[in-house]
Chains A and B, each alone.
Chain A
Amino acid sequence: MNADASSYLAALTTLRALIPELIVLSVATIVMTAGPFVKQPRRVWSATAFFTLVVAALALYGVHNITPDPYSSVLLNDAFSGWTRMGFLMAGLVIVLLAHDQVDDARSPEFFGGLMMLHAGAMLVGSANDLVLLFVGLELVSMPTYLLLYLTRRNATTQEASAKYFFLSVFSSGLLLFGLAYLYGIAGVSNLKALSYLCHHLAYVPNPTLGIIAIVFVMAGLGFRVAAVPFHFYAPDVYEASPTIVAALLAWIPKGVGFAAMLRAVTAVFAETEALSQRGAILVYLIAIATMTVGNMLALRQTNLKRLLAYSSIAHAGYLLIGVVAAFRNLPYSPGVTSQATPLVLGAEGVLLYLMTYSLMTLGAFGTIILLSTPERPVESIEDLDGLAKYQPVPALFLALCLFSLAGVPPLAGFWGKLWVFWSALGATSPRSDESGPGLMMSLVIFGGLNAAIGAYYYLRLVVAMYLRPAPEVRLTPRNAWPTALAVGGCATLSLFLGCYPRPLKEASREAGVAAITQPVPSPVSSAPEHPGAEHTALAH
């Protein structure tokens, strides 16, 4: 077999693994192009988006056993990418259901087209194995977001919010790109698995100076997306000013892609490297503590629901960062060489499990607000929820389930997220852990526990308003919108069900977590011509 044919085959494999993204992206392009010419009501466009995502999910299942070569392909189709892509698609279905009547007929093709593009980008981030593709995926998420922010409601506050988000996002993309350039400079490869392999097997790689610049800037760029302190300032303003459906989107998608990118491009590369894992862990440790504390403290005094949920999403970014710190301390795992990955929870595993439960409960909470808001009487402050349980028991129950889940009270899904993240941190001691090892982790988890208790206060305030306060004269009337109700009910029920039986969630996260730290043994040097990127791996021997 000659080199041309094999690289053609490799490209074909890559493209086949990309089929779900390609489906979503092509339908999105068609919808956006056709939008100005074809006048259709919004339910047509939302149904198109819904079924496109369903088809993409089926296609994702269809391609699950295509495995591009990890050291040459620009994308991976491992358990990690499968689980994150499936997560984004499922959450995407919820978002489409929530959004189905949130935009005018005239703007809905652009809205749902943008929504689909954004999901294609998020899926790309989950599967990217190359710095360039990772960045493309992240930008494919950002750019439609600017559009969506501005599209649904065009007034001065929305304008301000979208301008704020736009400038900060572009700035953070710049920071990220700068960091990615240094990441490339460490070993001269842009393939992430190869980079990770080289960092663990070559002496003097990574260079500590280059490496720390890479970590700092990549974390800064991604920190904006996950709304981590000190890049969190935009979140409350933007959430408050933008329509609820976009706020829900912002609370979930950028966080999901941000953490997926962190696990792929930062922790998997630098975990347990002599020079950098300790410094990286301490950097993220400080960000995590600051993020949790700031998010929770500022949420305590909020009266506006969207601002409250914005600060809550900041706080949750903090809990998730605990898992990232732990991921810095997980040894890479090579099938065949190492017997098995540690039975304790991996950092990546904790983060992924938390992310999935977070998507359920936060989309459910925003969804209830959407369900109860009408254009004449939007639900904005906590007082608007007073006595809700007395006259609308079912939406109140759904919201209460999501809130208790956000607070991490068992037997709801949020509890397992917290448990797994805390456990990953406490379990992340390794043979190389030196002085600050368990002490660092222990203090981090204690901080996390105390913060979770503080956080419970503001979720409880909403529960108290709904259940324990008298109902006002002027009452909320939920819209008669079955897709919204279905989405909210689905989120709440799943939170409860997965809280009682978390096994499927845990098993998928485990496989994905192991995949994130897997370093396959590279093929021998003789087969180098078969793989266009293999000269670097040959270097390693």
Chain B
Amino acid sequence: MPMLLALTVLLPLAGALTLFCLPKLDHKVARWVGLGFVLATLGLSVILLRSFENGLSTPQFTLVQQVGERTVYGWTWLGTPDIRFALGLDGVGMGLFALTTFLMVATIFSSWESITERASTHYALLLALEAGLLGLFSSLDVVLFYIFFEFTLIPLFFLIGLYGGPERRRASITFFLYTLVGSLLTLVGVISLVVVAYHGSSQNVLTFSIPELTKLLNDKTMLDWAPWRDLHAWGEWGRFAPFSAAYWDKVKAFYLSPQVLIFLLLFAGFAIKVPLFPFHTWLPLAHVEAPTAGSILLAGVLLKVGGYGLIRFNLGMTPYGAQALFPLLAFLSVAGIIYGALTALAQSDIKKLVAYSSVSHMGFVTLGLFALNPTGIEGATMQMINHGLTTGALFACVGVIYERYHTREMADLGGLWNRMPLFAFFLILSALGSAAVPGLNGFVGEFPILAGMFARSIFWTALAASGMVLGAYYLLLMLQRVLFGPLFEPVHHVVGLGVSAGHSPNESPTPIRPIAWHEIVGLGSLMVPIVLIGVYPKPIFELIKPTTQQVARICDPDRVDRSQVVAAPVPH
């Protein structure tokens, strides 16, 4: 089994290298090669999913060795220090891993006809991205995790930059740099965690394994992270600050306590990835400029990387930081929900609308995570999977429209129901799923989030719920404008000349291509889980439950005795 997991991660990489070495391949051949590798990976991941044992919170499919007292995972990679090539999956990882392999099929089909130039490189980049994402969700070693985390930037940079819209160069640079700033700060945080665990553990264990670090850092004796307490000495700079000494003492006891500081460092990278409200500015640009396949993966999986990192690192290793900063985090999440929804409401471009709706929906995810109770974290994880499916489907639908009409302006479109009824059905289903209509998957995720948050704070829950109403509003408005009413299409054949003003209701000079088989397969495959999860979410909850409950146990407010940490004596 460990070999099978490693094979699943490396297979797309092999596919990427194959296609990369054959840059002159015709797109009709390249897409089949790409599809072959994606389906093979999907097959392997289905095997993994079927042999996954629910109810265990320890990672599975991993090579386990006992070295003295310690459990060591994976293969030796660097020797000493013991950075290992350690792969393994727990419930949350398995869910997102399967989601990635599943969404890849839709991305291949969405670029089936639209990518004709340099198609081989396009599929190579998609496969490289898949390999990075799969590696990321299955890493059990912090350094390996980080390598995959940053590696995903390179293929996505080229995907946006080479195949994107008119502003693609700016979009790709903005995306790359914005993410890099955050992830370098995350790197600092990750190294700090390793060093803290080394100094704080009783026998000076130098470990990079995620499960082991989680265990070490949450030992009762580790709560004050003693060797780092002299960070307080920094606080001496506060005497130059323009407020009272007593207030400064409070500030330094709070923000300079190591857990809060390291929480913030880790948070920098993941909050940008999610993206949380004030750090979301790269997202609309990147989403709108990216090709359809890039958008699907970006929204569907890459944003989840942020949430996954928050679960693994911020909640799992610096729980006190998460608790101490609760008001701030809840505020940012709710601000993201409402701001994203209002901005989406104001968009006239469908793709921008979906992009801002992502900001809003990912706000729900972080809200659930920072509720710090089992219900909230479970809902958040569920919502990550759901959002990947529905938003992926929405972006694929936008791609279908754009390929035919070369416009994404809602003002130029109308009554598409009459033209493509099956497509309209797909769009309605994914929009309703996204709007969290009961019976579809969005509801199953958002309801536990709000329930979890309700237990924590009624105020923030009430505000967040208003975001749900807004979400239904802008999505239904979009459906109404695009699908219903009399058929209204831009003139098709003059797009290249920049003339898009003339509309001809009910007829167009060149016939609009009916929805093709690859679009039906690509979109249809996404519809199945949207409905299934909505009706019967139990298997997924059972899959993720052990892990989310473990995380919730770690950051249980009763376990982490806050007073003990804040009141830790400051050495002088």
Residues of A whose CB lies within 8 Å of any CB of B are 343-345, 393, 404, 409-411, 415, 419, 422-423, 426-427, 429, 433-439, 442, 445-446, 449-450, 452-453, 456-457, 460-461, 464, 467-469, 502-503, 506-507, 510
Contacts and interface: CB of A to CB of B under 8 A. Distances in A.
Contacts of A452: 180, 184
A419 B188 contact: no
Nearest to A445: B188
A468 B230 contact: no
Cβ-closest 9 pairs across A and B: A449-B184, A435-B233, A410-B147, A453-B181, A439-B234, A468-B161, A453-B180, A343-B206, A423-B191
B150 interface: yes
Nearest to B198: A344
B147 A437 contact: no
B143 A344 contact: no
Contact of B77 (A393, A426, A456, A503): A503
Contacts of A433: 230
B295 to A, nearest CB: 18
Nearest to B182: A453
B132 to A, nearest CB: 10
Contact of A468 (B78, B153, B168, B194): B168
Interface string B124-157: 0000000000000000000100110011011001
B158 interface: yes
25 contacts: A343-B80, A393-B23, A409-B151, A410-B147, A410-B151, A415-B150, A419-B143, A419-B187, A419-B191, A427-B198, A435-B236, A438-B227, A438-B228, A438-B230, A439-B230, A442-B188, A442-B261, A445-B188, A445-B191, A446-B265, A449-B184, A449-B185, A457-B173, A468-B168, A503-B78
A438 B161 contact: no
A460 B195 contact: no
A409 B158 CA distance: 14
Of the listed residues B173, B180, B233, the one surrounded by the most CB atoms of chain A closer than 10 A to its CB is B180
Given A422-B188, A426-B195, A464-B161, A411 B180 contact: no
Given A415-B147, A423-B191, A450-B181, A456 B176 contact: yes
B169 interface: yes
Contacts of B78: 502-503, 506
A449 B189 CA distance: 11
Contacts of A469: 169
B237 to A, nearest CB: 9
B227 A468 contact: no
Given A442-B188, A464-B172, A503-B77, 16 more contacts: A344-B206, A409-B151, A409-B153, A410-B147, A415-B147, A422-B191, A423-B194, A426-B195, A435-B230, A438-B231, A442-B192, A449-B188, A450-B181, A457-B177, A467-B161, A503-B78
A419 B172 CA distance: 25
A409 B157 CA distance: 12
A219 to B, nearest CB: 25
A507 B176 CA distance: 32
Contacts of B80: 343, 510
Contacts of A450: 181, 184-185
A507 B79 contact: yes
A28 B413 CA distance: 77
A456 B177 contact: yes
Contacts of A502: 78
Contacts, number: 113
Contacts of B176: 456, 460
A429 B184 contact: no
Contacts of A510: 80
Contacts of B231: 438-439, 442
Contacts of A506: 78-79
B222 interface: no
Interface string B514-527: 00000000000000
Contacts of B228: 438
A301 to B, nearest CB: 15
Of the listed residues A452, A460, A502, the one surrounded by the most CB atoms of chain B closer than 10 A to its CB is A460
Contacts of B151: 409-411
Contacts of B187: 419, 422, 449
A419 B177 CA distance: 18
Of the listed residues A410, A419, A427, A469, the one surrounded by the most CB atoms of chain B closer than 10 A to its CB is A410
Given A438-B228, A438-B231, A467-B158, A344 B195 contact: yes
Contacts of B23: 393
B467 to A, nearest CB: 32
Contact of B169 (A426, A456, A464): A464
Contacts of B154: 404, 409
B14 to A, nearest CB: 14
B242 interface: no
B382 to A, nearest CB: 31
A506 B154 CA distance: 25
B302 to A, nearest CB: 16
A381 to B, nearest CB: 18
A415 B187 CA distance: 11
A433 B229 CA distance: 12
Contacts of B408: none
B81 interface: yes
Contacts of B312: none
A426 B188 contact: yes
Nearest to B20: A397
Given A410-B150, A464-B161, A453 B168 contact: no
A276 B143 CA distance: 35
Contacts of B180: 409, 452-453, 456
A450 B188 CA distance: 10
A446 B191 CA distance: 11
Contacts of B162: 467-468
Contacts of A461: 173
B406 interface: no
B199 interface: yes
Nearest to B265: A446
Of the listed residues A433, A449, A503, the one surrounded by the most CB atoms of chain B closer than 10 A to its CB is A449
Interface in B190-225: 191-192, 194-195, 198-199, 204, 206
B221 to A, nearest CB: 18
Contacts of B150: 409-410, 415
Contacts of A393: 23
Interface string B67-81: 000000000011111
Contacts of A345: 81
A468 B172 contact: yes
Nearest to B185: A449
Contacts of A415: 147, 150
A429 B233 CA distance: 14
